Structure 1
Amino acid sequence: MQVLGLGCPLVFLALVTIFTPSPGASFKPAQTATKPGGEETEVQISKGENRAVISDFDPSQEYAFKVIAVRGNEESKPLQGRYAVPDLEPDEGVQPQKLDTTATEDVNEITGVDQFVCTTPAIADIVILVDGSWSIGRLNFRLVRMFLENLVNAFTVGIDKTRIGLAQYSGDPRIEWHLNAFNTKDSVIDAVKNLPYKGGNTLTGLALTYILENSFKPESGARSGVPKIGILITDGKSQDDVLPPAQSLRDAGVELFAIGVKNADENELKAIASDPDETHVYNVADFSIMSTIVEGLTRIVCDRVEQQDKEIKGEAGPEPTQGPPQDLVTSEVTARSFRVTWSKAPGAVEKYRVVYYPTQGGLPDEAVVDGTENSVVLRNLNSLTEYQIAVFAVYTSAASEALRGSETTLALPMVNDLELSDVTHSTMRARWRPVEGASGYMILYAPLSDGEATDEKEIKVAATETDVELEGLSPKTEYTVTVYAMYGEEASDPLTSQETTLAMEPPGNLQVSDIDHSSARVTWDPAPGKVRGYRILYAPFGDEQHSEVEMGPATSLILRNLTSLTEYNVAVLALYDEGQSDPITDGFTTRLVPEPLDLRTSEVTTDSFQVSWQHPADDIVLYRLSWTPVSGGDTKETVLNGNTDAFLLSDLQPFTEYEVTLSAIYSDESESDAATISETTLERTTTVATTTAVVRQGVKNMFIDDETTYSLQVSWELQDPNVLQYRVSYVSLRGDRAEEAVLVPSSQSSLLLQPLLSDNEVQGDSHPGLR
Structure 2
Amino acid sequence: LITPVSPKGHLLPAQQRQIDLKGDISSTPVTGLSPKTEYSLTLYAIYPGRIGESATITTETTVLPPVSNFRVIEEGLFSLRLGWTPLLGKVDKYKIYVPRTDRPSLIYDQILSGDVSSHVIDTLEEDKEYTVEIYAVYPEGPSETVSVTGKTLKLVPVDKLLVQNATTDTVQARWSSVRGATGYRLTWSSSEGHIENVNLGDNFNFYMVQGLHAGTEYTITINPIFVDIEGPVTSAKAKTLESSAVQTLRASAVSTSSAVISWNAVPGATGYRLAWGPTAEFIGRDRPRQLALNGSTTEYVLKNLVHDTEYVLSLYVLFGSAVGPGITATFRTSPLGYVSNFKVTSYTSSSIDVEWSPIVGATEYKLTWSSEFVSPQSRYLDRSILRHSITGLQPQTLYSVSIHALYSNTEGPEITLSQQTGTVHYIELVHRFTKKQIATVFDLTFFV
TM-score (norm 1): 0.25
Higher strand share: 2
Higher helix share: 1
Higher CA-based Rg: 1
Higher relative contact order structure (alpha carbons within 8 Å, sequence separation ≥ 6):
2
